[in-house]
Amino acid sequence: MTLLISRRELIAATSAAFAFQIAPAALAAGTVENKRLLTVVLRGALDGLALAAPTGDPTYESARGGLIVPASQIGPEFRLNDTFSLNPNMKNLAGLYHKKQALIVHAVATPYRRRSHFDGQDILESGHPAPRGERTGWMNRLIQQLPHVRTTAGKIGFAAGADLPLIMRGKAGVVSWAPPGLPASSDDTRARLLDIYNHSSPEMAELFEAGLELEGLSEATGASGSMTMGNSMSPRGASKLAKATAIAAGKLLSSDDGPRIGAMDLQGFDTHARQNPLKGRLVGLLKRLDDVIGQLEVSMADVWDETVVLFITEFGRTVRMNGTGGTDHGVGTVAILVGGAVNGGRVVADWPGLSAGALFEGRDLHPTTDLRAVLKGVASEHLGVPGDRLAGEVFPDSQSVRPMADLVRT
Amino acid sequence: MNAGYLATKRFGLGARPGDVARLSADPRGQLMAALQPDSNISAPVPGFTDIPSMVHAGRAWISKRKEMLAKDTSDDAIKNVRRAIGRNLYIRTYENAAIARASHAISTDQPFVERLVQYWSNHFAVSAGKGGALRALAGHYENNAIRPHVLGNFRDMLHAVVKHPMMIGYLDNRRSIGPNSRIGRKTGKGLNENLAREILELHTLGVNGGYLQTDVTNFARILTGWTIYGPKSPDAYTFWFRKRIHEPGTWTVLGRKFGDHGLAQGEAVLDMLAAHPATAKYVATRFCKHFVSSNPPPTLVARLERTFLETRGDLAELARALVSSDEAWQAERPKLLPPYDFFVAAYRATGAQVEARFFLRTLNNMGQPVWAPPSPEGWPEEDDAWMTPSALVERLDIANTIARRTRLAGSVPSWVQDILGDSLNQNTMLTLQRAESRQQAIALALMTAEFQRR
């Protein structure tokens, strides 16, 4: 049931939307049918403590050691409240927070308590409490609960990317948009492959390293001959790709007769090494994330007041730094909500603290909020899906998880 | 090393889930079983019913286009043509056949047979890059001249190849005219040696096979008249022995005299070449170079050479001799998969959905478009032919894309075990387990030396 549309068709669809400004009465602003929801899956496990640091927690500095942002580096615009500060790379997010259009839920986690990316993402996207090789995603099942809306392609769901992510798979038809060229594999993927070659095939390691060097040269001279957009795997290429994807998603979701419910993802948050929050690998990732937030605000300007954008990740990272200046897989992390419909300017957290005794299994931020409470809160308040449907079909076996209230302006 | 795994690499197209386990108990026996004469060697979709009707349809497309663009050649007019009558029919036919071939390779449960089809198709290489209607014939060529004979006889394949319009067109024999033929005398036109030379050099004796320039010239004389009907004929582009351009006379090739019996004269030369000891040596060597290494063990080559001679070019026996040898199972694996084979192996392993445009574009970019090698020599067989630094980086992009389209039924580690047996070392397995997403793990697995080599 996937419909692939080309970039040209996307532009055509968008301009067609501009040509017919008179929306059907049923789609008047404020009705459920007109609401937008975009979920951005941050793959690799985002370090929630690096994004929103508990700078007011007396145990923060000792617990995080080399991973802290010094207080002197945090301008007033990044102070969220007495306890939390944003990473100074999150300029757009900070702006939205002070406009009360961004909300951060902290110490949050899915029901998953182990630390495999695959299973973690399965649970995050399937909406089931345990990994079970689920083939459908909670957003697709959510779409099935929504009233019918007339759209150009006849579909309410939308996914950006070369494939359909699990979160959007299912019975409901979904429009998908793929960026031209091959999607990039990240610096991180390259580094891991090089490690594999170094331990298995010196010859291929040498070849691969030479190839990376050549590519760097051709990029530096602008003589790129590769087929990939933004020539792929450089951080710059990945950022360009993320930006293009955000613009496409934003435009499509904001056209009158386009899809309403979308999903996209950003990769590479698995920062096992060199994670210094001010100059390490995480900086580029956070900037990319912040850039996407900024792009969405612009490209969805027309429908911003009807919009919630959710940023979720499979789990968090260890509180303490590991041996390579990074962090390993953890549990508790953040969820971020932005959009004109968000009841923002708040950090929502039942804060467990970072003292040794407070940590989950002695190493991770203890999760005190079930992510499903957040997702169910958005689904019920923003999209009007009744609680029994949410607990039954969308998030099975979640009766005990009450939807979080007041996430959305009503 | 797991012999089942090695079998899927060396004698197959890469494992589909279950293949390694199925082959492990008796890899040799199973490969041998695939070489029975009743083995399924069915062809993928041909794309058209017969050559003349395809050529006529292609020509009708061209004249229709001409007519539509007679007055207006603007970009818009060209777009309208596309909308009304589609893209060039010859190109579409070629692309459909190429896609059908890859799809068949990805899904077949006779991968060894398919490897042999690819091998012999490359031994008798043609190029769709020649253009025109020939482009559309590449798939027909493989399905009709090569495929039916891969478990049959070398002589029969050679005959089928040299009489196929694709080979005649590709190596320019269409207009090779005997100077003393009726038309030659009238027009003063003459020989084109290309086909004769390549048969001797690339298809049979090999460049050191002991032939001289006079053998080439005489063979070219003998092959005059081996042509194809013109495009307007009801038999367009099918084989035609045209007596009026055939050089009369008795000619000597490799010391043997061939009397002028028309078509039979050339057929007799082909028979001699197929049975020649130099051909046995050349074929055995090239076969081993492809399946084992650039420098194949001389004992292996000698055994296959003997098999070829003793069985009078039985190609199933040749393949059996390879599989039953110990040398062909040596653990060292110097060869990097050619791009096409990488593509096929990745899709067999992952079960990802193949998308036609992605397939065609990717193979072009990787430098191995289907049926379009750079020369009549075909794609290179040297171990390191495809080992260039930028190609390896490019493959990671492709692996990444394929990984994104993959839906595994089980966990990554069990899938890897299924596809690659126990060939990965502990560090690689750990890296795959710790990958940041399933996609990343799949892409990395497709890039391991154990996946990329055969």
Q: Work out the pLDDT band at B45, boundaries 50, 70, 90.
A: low
Of A241-245, A302-306, B147-151, the range with the lowest mean pLDDT is: A241-245
Q: Work out the pLDDT band at A162, boundaries 50, 70, 90.
A: low
Averaged pLDDT, B89-114 = 93
Residue A102 has pLDDT above 60, yes or no: yes
Q: Work out the pLDDT band at B331, boundaries 50, 70, 90.
A: low
Amino acid code (one letter) for A395: F
From residue A1, alpha-carbon distances to A158, A162, A169, A236, B359 in Å are 12, 15, 9, 33, 22
In A, residues 250-279, which contact B (CB 8 Å cutoff)?
267-270
Average pLDDT value over all residues in chain B:
92
Residue A148 has pLDDT above 90, yes or no: no
Q: Work out the pLDDT band at A176, boundaries 50, 70, 90.
A: confident
Residue to substitute from A42, A169, A185, interface B, most B β-carbons within 10 A: A185
Residue A24 has pLDDT above 60, yes or no: no
Q: Do B405 and A162 touch (CB under 8 A)?
A: yes
The verdict on residue A408 lying in a domain is no
Q: How far is CA A262 from the centre of its chain?
A: 12
Residue B40 has pLDDT above 50, yes or no: yes
Adjacent-strand bridge partners of B239: B228
Based on the domain organization, do A209 and A318 belong to the same domain? no
Q: Which residues of B touch A117 (CB under 8 A)?
A: 435-438
Residue B354 has pLDDT above 50, yes or no: yes
Task: Choose among A199, A226, A268: nearest Cβ to B394.
Answer: A226
Q: Which residues of B touch A264 (CB under 8 A)?
A: none
Task: Choose among A185, A212, A214: nearest Cβ to B400.
Answer: A185
Residue A181 backbone class (left: φ over 0; alpha: ψ -120 to 50; beta: rest): left
Choice between B386 and A45, residue whose per-residue pLDDT is larger: A45
* Contact pairs from chain A to chain B, CB under 8 Å: 119
Task: Choose among A43, A195, A211: nearest Cβ to B436.
Answer: A43
Distance from C-alpha of B414 to C-alpha of B390, rounded to nearest angstrom: 31
Q: Do A189 and B425 touch (CB under 8 A)?
A: no
Based on the domain organization, do A117 and A261 belong to the same domain? yes
Q: Work out the pLDDT band at B93, boundaries 50, 70, 90.
A: very high
Distance from C-alpha of A125 to C-alpha of B98, rounded to nearest angstrom: 37
- DSSP three-state, residue B383: coil
Q: Work out the pLDDT band at B51, boundaries 50, 70, 90.
A: very high
Q: Which residues of A touch B436 (CB under 8 A)?
A: 43-45, 117, 188, 267-270
How many CA atoms lie less than 13 Å away from A378 in the CB half-sphere? 32
Based on the domain organization, do A134 and A216 belong to the same domain? no
Residue B69 has pLDDT above 50, yes or no: yes
Q: Do A211 and B452 touch (CB under 8 A)?
A: no
Give me the pLDDT at residue A19, please: 29
CA distance B8 to chain A (A): 20
Choice between B314 and A243, residue whose per-residue pLDDT is larger: B314
The verdict on residue A20 lying in a domain is no
φ, ψ (nearest 5 deg) of residue B280: -60, -45
Task: Choose among B387, B396, B437: nearest Cβ to A44.
Answer: B437
Residue to substitute from B436, B442, B450, B451, interface A, most A β-carbons within 10 A: B436
Distance from C-alpha of B399 to C-alpha of B397, rounded to nearest angstrom: 6
Based on the domain organization, do A272 and A221 belong to the same domain? no
Q: Which residues of B touch A196 (CB under 8 A)?
A: 427-428, 431, 444, 447-448
Residue B348 has pLDDT above 60, yes or no: yes
Which among A269-283, B276-290, B355-369 has the top mean pLDDT? Answer: B276-290
pLDDT tens per residue across span B362-381: 888 788 999 998 889 899 88
Of A13-27, A134-148, B172-186, the range with the lowest mean pLDDT is: A13-27
Average pLDDT value over all residues in chain A:
84
Output DSSP code: residue B384. Answer: T
Is residue B111 within 8 Å of residue B8, measured between CB atoms?
Answer: yes
Q: Do B393 and A211 touch (CB under 8 A)?
A: yes
Residue to substitute from A119, A192, A199, A206, interface B, most B β-carbons within 10 A: A192
Q: Work out the pLDDT band at A6, boundaries 50, 70, 90.
A: very low
Residue A26 has pLDDT above 60, yes or no: no
Is residue A215 within 8 Å of residue B390, measured between CB atoms?
Answer: yes
Q: What one-character-per-residue DSSP string does A277-337 give? A: TTTSHHHHHHHHHHHHHHHHHHHTGGGGGGEEEEEEES--BBSS--TTBS--B-S-EEEEE
The verdict on residue A407 lying in a domain is no
Is residue A370 within 8 Å of residue A127, measured between CB atoms?
Answer: no
The verdict on residue A401 lying in a domain is no
Give me the pLDDT at residue B100, please: 92
Residue A347 has pLDDT above 70, yes or no: yes
The verdict on residue A320 lying in a domain is yes
Give me the pLDDT at residue B385, please: 80
Q: What angle do CA A155, A160, A163 make, to 5 degrees?
A: 95
| Domain CATH number, residue A39 | 3.40.720
Based on the domain organization, do A192 and A300 belong to the same domain? no
Secondary structure E strands in A122-188: 157-160, 174-177
Choice between B313 and A271, residue whose per-residue pLDDT is larger: B313
Q: Do B436 and A232 touch (CB under 8 A)?
A: no
Residue B307 has pLDDT above 80, yes or no: yes
Residue B185 has pLDDT above 90, yes or no: yes
Answer whether A207 touches B (CB < 8 Å).
yes
CA distance B412 to chain A (A): 9
Based on the domain organization, do A214 and A112 belong to the same domain? no
Averaged pLDDT, A134-162 = 82
The 10 Å Cβ neighbour count of residue B129 is 15
pLDDT tens per residue across span B2-30: 889 999 999 999 999 999 999 999 999 99
Q: Do A163 and B435 touch (CB under 8 A)?
A: no
Q: Do B427 and A43 touch (CB under 8 A)?
A: no
Amino acid code (one letter) for A200: S
Task: Choose among A183, A213, A214: nearest Cβ to B404.
Answer: A183
Distance from C-alpha of B229 to C-alpha of B372, rounded to nearest angstrom: 24
Measure the CA dihedral B353/B354/B357/B362, to 10°. Answer: 120
Averaged pLDDT, A370-388 = 95
Secondary structure E strands in A202-259: none
Distance from C-alpha of B68 to C-alpha of B372, rounded to nearest angstrom: 31
DSSP H/E element including B426: helix B426-433
Averaged pLDDT, B238-255 = 97
Give me the pLDDT at residue A179, please: 62
Based on the domain organization, do A200 and A96 belong to the same domain? no
Answer whether B400 touches A (CB < 8 Å).
yes
Based on the domain organization, do A217 and A248 belong to the same domain? no
Is residue A366 within 8 Å of residue A394, measured between CB atoms?
Answer: no
Query: Could you list the residue range(s) of the whole structural domain that residue A213 is in?
Result: 185-227
Based on the domain organization, do A208 and A278 belong to the same domain? no
The verdict on residue A331 lying in a domain is yes
Answer whether A195 touches B (CB < 8 Å).
yes
pLDDT tens per residue across span B390-441: 788 889 989 999 998 898 888 999 999 999 999 999 999 999 999 999 999 9
CA distance A388 to chain B (A): 30
Q: Do A117 and B425 touch (CB under 8 A)?
A: no
Based on the domain organization, do A164 and A217 belong to the same domain? no
In terms of DSSP bridges, do strands A52-53 and A85-86 run parallel, antiparallel, or are they unpaired?
antiparallel
Is residue B333 within 8 Å of residue B454, measured between CB atoms?
Answer: yes
The verdict on residue A340 lying in a domain is yes
Nearest alpha carbon to residue B225 among B194, B254, B166, B266: B266
Answer whether B436 touches A (CB < 8 Å).
yes
Give me the pLDDT at residue A181, please: 58
Averaged pLDDT, A389-403 = 94
pLDDT tens per residue across span A43-76: 999 999 999 999 999 999 999 998 998 889 899 9
Instruction: Convert A163-196 to b/e letters by CB count within 10 Å (16 or more is b).
Output: bbbbbbbbebbbbbbbbebbbbbbbbbbebbebb
Based on the domain organization, do A222 and A282 belong to the same domain? no
Task: Choose among B394, B410, B435: nearest Cβ to A192.
Answer: B435
Q: Do B399 and A204 touch (CB under 8 A)?
A: no
Domain count for chain A:
2
C-alpha dihedral sign at B322, B325, B327, B329: positive
The verdict on residue A221 lying in a domain is yes
Answer whether B387 touches A (CB < 8 Å).
yes
Give me the pLDDT at residue A302, please: 93
pLDDT more than 70, % of chain A:
82
Based on the domain organization, do A272 and A350 belong to the same domain? yes
Residue B302 has pLDDT above 90, yes or no: yes
Distance from C-alpha of B10 to C-alpha of B23, rounded to nearest angstrom: 13
